[in-house]
Structure 1
Amino acid sequence: MKKIKFFLLSIALAGLISCKDSSTTYKDITEAKGNGVIYFGGDILTMVGDTPNYADAVWIKDGKIAYIGSLEEAKKQGKGAELANLEGKTLLPSFIDAHSHYINSLSVANQANVSPAPIGPGKDVKSIIQTMKKFQADKKIPEGEDIIIQAYGYDDTMMPNDSLLNRDDLDAAFPHNPVIVGHISMHGAVLNSMALKKFNITDKTVTPPGGVIVRKPGTNEPYGLIMETAYLPIFDNLPKPTKEQEIEWSKIGQMMYAEAGITTAHDGATKISDLDVMKRANKANVNMIDVIAFPFITDLDTILAKYPQKDWLKYDNHFKIGGVKITIDGSPQGKTAYFTTPYLHGGPNGETKWTGELTFPQSDINNMVKRVYAMNVPLNLHANGDGAIDAFLQAHKEAAKDDLTKDRHVTMIHSQFVRKDQLEEYPKFKILPSFYTLHTYYFADAHINNRGQTQADYMSPMKDAIGLGLKPTNHTDFVVLPLDQMMVLWSSVNRISRNNKPIGPDQRVTPYQGLQAITIHPAIQYMEQAAKGTLEKNKLADLVILDKNPLKEDKMKIKDIKVLQTIKEGKVIYCKECNKS
């Protein structure tokens, strides 16, 4: 009898060993080939519904989800599939970028990062200059009037004692090169004298409507900072990569998204030259993620002539044109967002009773909106201040007066300082807000100083939006702020400033609601919810594996959660700690 029991126990142990040996870990997987891969052994968060739902296993095959549910049934249906043990890690749908500037990811590796902490070292003018000097030396950038030195991330709100970077500072440090230091808003830059000359900006240059040219005190000479419409001609004529560089830079740029767990990237305000770059990279089979471009309204005629509308709204080798972008105002931290009440401490050039300005006159905005509505394609609007939001609502009521409530797939990008009465009109007019809760951390102090505590507390009111039945998204506006999706989630859940002060705590959302804003809700924003955003049968196998579950982690530690793997249509495109052969 003892021999029989021992024999049976041996068989059972052998079976367990065999089962263990037949499965690998997620670290061993590079692609779901053959009959695919079954992931199990961790928290598999489906993101289906408005409350958390988990599955025991998910079977990936041919780039899609073939089954999700019990491990037993997954093995039965996916017989012969490779078993990948998550080892307690968390798997969920990959992140979808609701708004960034993808094209800029191609060039930031070739620019100095002068952002303030915790992003970069730019704590004051001296540190900015030192960082750029080191960058020039490290990159071996030679002197020469045709060789531009570029930086990004300059945040004037973080400069101590209001000692702002200006033309003279850059002239003294870089007398032999044109220098352009991008403002953190991406709506302007500080230029030295050689760069001002290169772009034909002099004391005789008239500041265009909707633009800012800061002048040296007591003179009409440009002092370096150029913003909004005055900056657009400079931005359009910045150095472009060569055709050879386009390929390599596109790979580097897309990997930045993949490292953040993002498999769908957004390019807001795409110009014709940028669209050409994306198309050439696409033709060269570079794309490892999906890229969606939204042509800027000023380039629309040129783009339509080259890329007709009949080819929009559908992917070609992971790339598509998704609609049109209209910018209505500037940035609140740059004091160029348009409000109905004045900034508390004047404008960027010392203007009094300054409310900011519309990027375009109201009549132009009306015509632009009417044109996009007639095209019947999605519309993205950049609007930060409540005055800019009023301008769009007015344009909508004019352009859509025959049917104000039709769903025209309108996304209000940023929508940061929306008033409650405006927000209440969003569901009625089918307007989707894409919020920017990162400002509650990075720029809260500047907004309190510029706009006051009450208005700062109500920025990006995600909880109220959800309460109205809206499905808000959340974004980084990269390269303004890093692509870090866990920081995006952390900011929406905690709403705490750099100085550890609560910013509108009544607008905090749950971690699950915060995850919805970077998974299923952006899928809805792009009208791709049938293929993305949740783990369901027949949807794309776009997945991310995290080292911890954001729904179970301490809320204050969410920002420390790491992306371990990013999977696009069953293929691992980023792996932090894959097993090496």
Structure 2
Amino acid sequence: MFSSGDLEQAKTNFPEASSRDLKGKLLLPGFIDPHSHFGMMISAIGQANVAPPPAGTVTNFSDIIVALENYRDAFGIKLSEWIFAWGYDETQLAEGKHITKIELDKAFPNNPVYLQHVSGHMGVANSVALAQGGIDENTRDPIGGRIICFDDGKTPTGLVQEISMYYFAGKAIEEFQGKKAELFPKAQEHYLSFGVTRAQDGMTDLLSMAFFRSLAAEEKLDFDLVTLHGYASLKNDDLEFKTYKNGLKVQGIKLIGDGSRQGKTAYFTQPYLTSVFGCEKDCVGFPHGPQDELNRLIGLAYEKGIQIFVHGNGDAAIDMVIRAHEEESKRLGQPLDADRRPVVVHSQFVREDQLNKYRDYGMLPSFFTNHAFFWGDVHRENLEDERAFFLEPHS
């Protein structure tokens, strides 16, 4: 916006400007997307929709199977080919629990199947998919991830959380890489239809970045797109940060502090009130990695002057981010409130004392206000009301 006020004065000030009669309609600035995964959206358009209402129609296990079968038949997926689905949410199913490989195997004994959880932090695979991912009775939990097992303690149910799901997420990226050019216009139009004129891709892999660069070079981006990259990019100098080129900008580095609130992998100082699959007592979720590693990565970003975005939902994870910020600022001799604008992505259950430190240190939370609409009741069940009612106080 260059000017506001008197129309005749504006015509005088900008004689070469074109005009458009809105015929009574209201013109608003475009929305800035503070955090989403545009690349994931592109792939999701090409996958089976197993989301509950209002994003989909699935309400139980049978609906999931039907949705997968319809998708398989509509796209002519052959035996042994992958079937991917998005929007899976056990909290909205009539069964009130996760589907397992048993139900998926019965319907799909030959196809590898993977249901991406709506949180993006876990998913459910059938036996064929688990085998291809190298997961069996002898596979141990990696640091920052869990492979959920049945009551015998060794047989995987198919539910993989956090780092344990990386193989399957990577496989989806690989499978849909060749289809992105076809799916991209639909994803872009979806964002634009809601008035979003600057979108974010919250974790951009190298293949996706190459694709985004090709779109920018061909001037096919009808909105601005900013990308966040994994910690490996801290070691490379092949990315130019903070500069737009034909609507594309590398914004910063994305780190993961913990997981999902409704999926019960978010890291809290106080335990969940409801049972947690794969945990017997003192179930507080878990961090994505140790404190010293988070310190190292944040410190490296601060040394290079790169903006960081750290996924942090539970208050214990947020404590880790704040501690890393304090310790690395001190180590580097940098002011705690230097103009770095570190972002704690989501900050869903930030405490009041943590908000005060955000203010003092110049840290920013992102916004996820629709979370209360989809999972407000789930949070009240999983957490006591004192915590649940303090959901996203910054928004």
Judge same fold: TM > 0.5, yes or no.
yes
Alpha-carbon separation, structure 2, partners of 1:133 and 1:409: 46
* 1:107 and 2:37 aligned: no
Q: Would the aligned equivalents of 1:268 and 1:296 in 2 still touch at CA under 8 Å?
A: no
1:124 counterpart = 2:60: yes
Equivalent AA in structure 2 for residue 432 of structure 1? L
- Which segment is superposed worse, 275-284 or 151-160? 275-284
Say if 2:204 is the partner of 1:275.
Answer: no
Which amino acid is the alignment partner of residue 122 of structure 1?
V
Instruction: Provide Cα deviations, 1:140-164, integer angstroms capped at 9, x if missing partner.
Output: 222x22x111111111111224242
> Structure 1, residues 51-104: CA drift from partner, whole Å, max 9, x if none?
xxxxxxxxxxxxxx4543222223444557554222322211100110000111
Which secondary structure does the structure 2 equivalent of 1:292 belong to?
Answer: strand
Q: CA deviation at 1:451?
A: 1.0
Q: Quick one: which amino acid aligns to residue 261 of structure 1? A: G
- Cα distance, 1:177–1:299 mapped onto 2, change above 3 Å: farther
Query: 1:117 corresponds to which letter in structure 2?
Result: P
Q: Secondary structure at the match of 2:53?
A: coil
Q: Deviations over 1:200-230 (max 9, x none)?
A: 1111111112212111222511111101011
213-222 vs 256-265, which moves further? 213-222
CA 456–284 in structure 1, closer or farther in 2 if over 3 Å, else same: same
- Among 380, 391, 394, the alignment partner of 1:448 is 380
The RMSD of aligned alpha carbons is 1.9
Report the CA distance shift for 1:365/1:163 in structure 2 as closer, same or farther (over 3 A): closer
Aligned equivalent of 1:141: 77
Q: What is the CA-CA distance between 1:130 and the residue it aligns to?
A: 1.2
Q: 2:120 maps to what in 1?
A: 186
SS of residue matched to 1:360? coil
Structure-2 separation of matches of 1:179 and 1:389? 34
Q: Does 1:84 align with 2:20?
A: yes
State the partner residue of 1:156. Answer: 90
Q: Give the drift of 1:249.
A: 2.5
Deviations 1:509-545 (A, max 9, x none): xxxxxxxxxxxxxxxxxxxxxxxxxxxxxxxxxxxxx
Residue 394 of structure 1: aligned partner: 323
Is residue 2:352 matched to residue 1:423? no
Q: Secondary structure of the residue that 1:207 maps to in structure 2?
A: coil
Q: Number of residues paired by the alignment?
A: 392
Task: Return closer, same or farther for 1:79/1:236 CA change in 2, 3 Å cut-off.
Answer: same
1:374 alignment partner in structure 2: 303
| Partner Cα distance (1:454, 1:436) in 2 | 19
User: C-alpha deviations, 1:474-520, integer Å up to 9, x for none?
Assistant: xxxxxxxxxxxxxxxxxxxxxxxxxxxxxxxxxxxxxxxxxxxxxxx
8 Å contact kept, 1:287–1:318: yes
Per-residue CA deviation, residues 162-188 of structure 1 (Å, 9 max, x unaligned), is 242110111111122111101111011
Distance 1:394 1:66 in 2: 42
Please give the alpha-carbon distance, in whole angstroms, between the structure 2 residues aligned to 1:243 and 1:332: 30
Q: How far does residue 333 in structure 1 lie from its aligned partner after superposition?
A: 0.6
Mapped partners of 1:150, 1:350: distance in 2: 28
Query: 1:360 Cα shift?
Result: 0.9
TM alignment of 1:282-297, pairs within 5 A: 282-297=216-231
Compute the displacement of 1:274 (Å): 2.4
Q: Is the 8 A contact 1:327 1:381 kept in 2?
A: yes
User: Secondary structure of 2:227's partner?
Assistant: strand
Q: Which amino acid aligns with 2:201?
A: D
Distance 1:299 1:77, change over 3 A: closer
1:328 aligns with 2:262: no
Q: In 2, are the aligned partners of 1:411 and 1:433 still within 8 Å (CA)? A: yes
| Unpaired runs of at least 5, structure 1 | 1-64, 464-581
Structure 2 residue aligned with 1:198, among 128, 132, 141? 132
Q: Determine if contact 2:315/2:351 at 8 Å carries over to the other structure.
A: yes
* TM-score when normalising by structure 2: 0.94
Aligned to 2:150: 216
AA paired with 1:222?
P
The question of whether the paired residues in 2 share the 8 Å contact of 1:346 and 1:353 is answered with: no
Of 398, 414, 423, 2:346 maps to 414
Deviation (angstroms), 1:347: 2.2
Structure 2 match to 1:347: 276
The change in CA–CA distance for 1:76 and 1:404 in structure 2 (over 3 A counts) is closer
SS of residue paired to 1:227: strand
Contact conserved, 2:205 with 2:230, CA < 8 A, in 1? Answer: yes
| Gapped regions of structure 2 (runs ≥ 5) | none
Identical pairs, percent: 34
Secondary structure of the corresponding residue to residue 100 of structure 1 = coil
C-alpha distance in 1 between matches for 2:295 and 2:218? 39
1:14-33 superposed matches below 5 A: none
Bigger mean CA offset, 74-83 vs 180-189: 74-83
2:367 to 435, 451, 464: 435
Distance 1:299 1:225, change over 3 A: farther
> Of the two structures, which has the highest relative contact order with CA contacts closer than 8 Å and spacing of 6 or more?
1
Q: Paired residue for 1:257, among 191, 199, 218? A: 191
Q: How far apart are 1:241 and its partner, in Å?
A: 5.8
Deviation track 1:322-355 (CA, whole Å, cap 9, x = no partner) reads 1111110001111000000111123232432111
The aligned runs of 1:429-578 (5 Å cut-off) are 429-462=361-394
Residue pair 1:151, 1:181 contacting (<8 A) in 2 also: yes
Amino acid in the other structure paired with 1:103: G
Change (3 A) 1:339 1:80: closer
- 2:285 maps to amino acid: G
Structure 1 counterpart of 2:292, which letter?
S
Distance 1:78 1:331, change over 3 A: same
Tell me the SS of whatever aligns to 2:265.
Answer: coil
Which whole-Å CA distance do the structure 1 matches of 2:364 and 2:2 have between them? Answer: 31
In structure 2, do the counterparts of structure 1 residues 361 and 251 end up closer, same or farther at CA, with 3 Å as the change threshold? same
> TM-score normalised to the size of structure 1?
0.65
Partner secondary structure for residue 275 of structure 2: coil
Q: Provide the C-alpha distance between the structure 2 equivalents of 1:220 and 1:237, rounded to a whole number of angstroms.
A: 25
**Secondary structure of 1:141 counterpart:** coil
Partner Cα distance (2:4, 2:34) in 1: 26
